[in-house]
Amino acid sequence: MTTYLACMGTRPEIIKMAPIYRTLKAQGEDVQVLHTGQHEEVAQALYTFFDMDPDFQIQLKRQTPTLSNLTAELLQGIDGVIDKVKPDVVLVQGDTASALVGAMAGYYRDVPVAHVEAGLRTGQHDPFPEEKNRELIGRLAHWHFPPTPQAADNLRREGISAQQIFEVGNTVIDAALWVKTQMDQDGASDALPAEVRRFMQDHAASRLMLVTAHRRENWGRPIQLIASAVGVLLRLHPELVVVWPLHPNPSVRADIQNAFSVLGAECRQRLCLTDPLEYPALISLLAHAHFCLTDSGGIQEEASAFKCPVLITRDSTERQELVEAGGAALVGTDPHRIVEQASALLNDPWAYRAMQVQESPFGDGHSAQRIADVLTCARSTH
Ligand code: UDP
């Protein structure tokens, strides 16, 4: 039996690692979960939902709010767990500090590292520091699991041996389809918190735009601009309803709430500002949404699994595949562009249909099995 140490700490990492955890466990492998504590508020509900309770947890002190301090704390904490577990493989996902430091700690202990969702690049400084994190993990990992041909090309261009690159799709699609199937069996509206459920029942015949904004580069003025565009859209389109799960940061929330203070009562009752949603609730809304307006990477990918068009409130994306397939458009944070593109999706059925991709470029729901196959085959010939 192989011992895996799955190292994760943020919402998207937990969601994208869960299908691999479940697949390896189902095959009888020993998978130890290390929670680094990077996202504390939302983590436990996700671990419980995926039946993946952490075996180890790092207690971050975060006395200084710098990346260097976080890195130092993570490195010590993860190294201590590697020393105890003595894993055969360290699994990391994506581009967070937890992923980079997990890869470093594995490398320093000479334990081979598997990088899930490898090869994403914007080729620019932003997103900072994620772009550099994933590049650095690319130098440290032994197995690279890019989700798409484009991501695999990026890795080859950086000189990584073709024998170490396995294009497998993105496990985010496995998770989203799995949750959707569970909800179809159990009743999807049960996943929604009461206020959102009531809101959706009151506006059952309307068209839903799901909005999220969490990227640090959009905090402040850009988020106010996004909110003002949403206000204009509500005024222009009486059939539109908006659900916006707000970022927990108080000043981000205040910016958004203030931007809507001038909205008339009729428009206001078609807007639902709510707390961050639990993952099944988010998927339930995404599966019903007419389209979404978001800066989230994971939501761009998940939306493609539900043929839901995406307007991306960024100037560049490392998920260019969906833009190229026609399922997403980069609109930045300029209110005119947002209003124009969103109005086209609401007014023009042809424009709408053109943005409904028939097949997600990010995966088919079987990525975790492919990863498990590569790892178990490599370990059995070790
Ligand atoms: N998500 C969630 N609740 C929310 C907003 C997002 O469960 O209120 C999920 C979403 O389904 C996706 C993941 O969080 O799987 C994306 O995380 P985030 O947007 O924080 O990060 P990114 O994907 O941009 O790295």
- Helix, strand, or coil (residue 89): strand
Residue 76 Cα to ligand 1 middle (Å)? 28
Q: Alpha helices of 213-330 — where are they, by DSSP H?
A: 221-236, 250-259, 265-268, 279-288, 297-305, 320-324
Work out the mean pLDDT of the chain and round it to a whole number.
96
- 86 burial via Cβ count (<10 Å: 0-12, 13-18, 19+): exposed
Protein residues whose CB sits closer than 6 Å to any atom of ligand 1: 11-12, 15, 212, 214, 245, 276-277, 279, 282, 296-299, 302
What is the tens place of the pLDDT at every residue in 309-342? 999 999 999 999 999 999 999 999 999 999 999 9
For residue 90, give the DSSP letter. Answer: E
Residue 11 Cα to ligand 1 middle (Å)? 6
C-beta atoms surrounding 196 within 10 Å: 20
C-alpha span between 348 and 376 (Å, rounded) = 49
Q: What is the pLDDT of residue 248?
A: 86
C-alpha span between 259 and 226 (Å, rounded) = 9
Best CA proximity match to 93, nearest among 51, 167, 145, 43: 145
Residue 382 Cα to ligand 1 middle (Å)? 37
Whether 187 has a pLDDT exceeding 80, the answer reads: no
Whether 50 has a pLDDT exceeding 80, the answer reads: yes
- Mean pLDDT in residue range 133-147: 98
Closest ligand 1 atom to 96 CA = 25
What is the tens place of the pLDDT at every residue in 207-243? 999 999 998 889 999 999 999 999 999 999 999 999 9
Q: Are 122 and 318 in contact (CB under 8 A)?
A: yes
- Mean pLDDT in residue range 190-197: 93
Q: pLDDT class for 99, splitting at 50, 70, 90?
A: very high
Q: Which residues sit opposite 291 in a β-bridge?
A: 209
For residue 274, give the DSSP letter. Answer: E
Q: What is the pLDDT of residue 87?
A: 98
What is the tens place of the pLDDT at every residue in 271-283? 999 999 999 999 9
Peptide bond into 361 cis (omega under 30): no
- Mean pLDDT in residue range 29-52: 94
- Which of 279, 292, 306, 319 to mutate for ligand 1's pocket (most ligand atoms within 8 Å of CB)? 279
C-beta atoms surrounding 274 within 10 Å: 15
- Mean pLDDT in residue range 247-255: 91
pTM given for the model: 0.96
The CB-side HSE value for 161 (13 A sphere, CA atoms) comes to 6
Kindly report the protein residue whose alpha carbon is nearest to atom 9 of ligand 1: 279
Peptide bond into 129 cis (omega under 30): yes
Whether 189 has a pLDDT exceeding 70, the answer reads: no
Backbone angles phi, psi at 321, to 5 degrees: -55, -40
Kindly report the protein residue whose alpha carbon is nearest to atom 12 of ligand 1: 298
Whether 379 has a pLDDT exceeding 90, the answer reads: no
Q: What is the pLDDT of residue 59?
A: 93
The angle subtended at Cα 77 by Cα 137 and Cα 100, nearest 5°, is 10
What is the tens place of the pLDDT at every residue in 283-308? 999 999 999 999 999 999 999 999 99
Q: pLDDT class for 42, splitting at 50, 70, 90?
A: confident
Q: Which residue has the higher pLDDT, 126 or 350?
A: 350
Q: Are 167 and 154 in contact (CB under 8 A)?
A: no
Query: 2-11, 121-130, 266-275: which has the minimum mean pLDDT?
Result: 121-130
- Which of 252, 296, 313 to mutate for ligand 1's pocket (most ligand atoms within 8 Å of CB)? 296
Q: Which residues are catalytic?
A: 95, 117, 130, 214, 216, 247
Kindly report the protein residue whose alpha carbon is nearest to atom 2 of ligand 1: 279
Closest ligand 1 atom to 215 CA = 24
Residue 299 Cα to ligand 1 middle (Å)? 6
> Could you tell me the two tokens for 99?
């992923």
DSSP string over 167-227: ----HHHHHHHHHHHHHHHH-GGGGS-HHHHHHHHHTTTSEEEEEE---GGGTTHHHHHHH
C-alpha span between 305 and 283 (Å, rounded) = 10
- Which of 177, 218, 282, 304 to mutate for ligand 1's pocket (most ligand atoms within 8 Å of CB)? 282
Q: pLDDT class for 159, splitting at 50, 70, 90?
A: very high
Q: What is the pLDDT of residue 222?
A: 96
Residue 244 Cα to ligand 1 middle (Å)? 12
Best CA proximity match to 210, nearest among 201, 222, 200, 195: 200
- Mean pLDDT in residue range 61-75: 93
Q: What is the pLDDT of residue 188?
A: 61
C-alpha span between 279 and 197 (Å, rounded) = 15
Best CA proximity match to 12, nearest among 282, 327, 322: 282
Q: What is the share, in percent, of the chain residues with pLDDT greater than 90?
A: 90
| Cα dihedral 133/50/304/293 (nearest 10) | -70
C-alpha span between 64 and 54 (Å, rounded) = 26
Kindly report the protein residue whose alpha carbon is nearest to atom 15 of ligand 1: 298
C-beta atoms surrounding 156 within 10 Å: 14
Residue 294 Cα to ligand 1 middle (Å)? 10
> Could you tell me the two tokens for 304?
């493609």
C-alpha span between 53 and 292 (Å, rounded) = 31
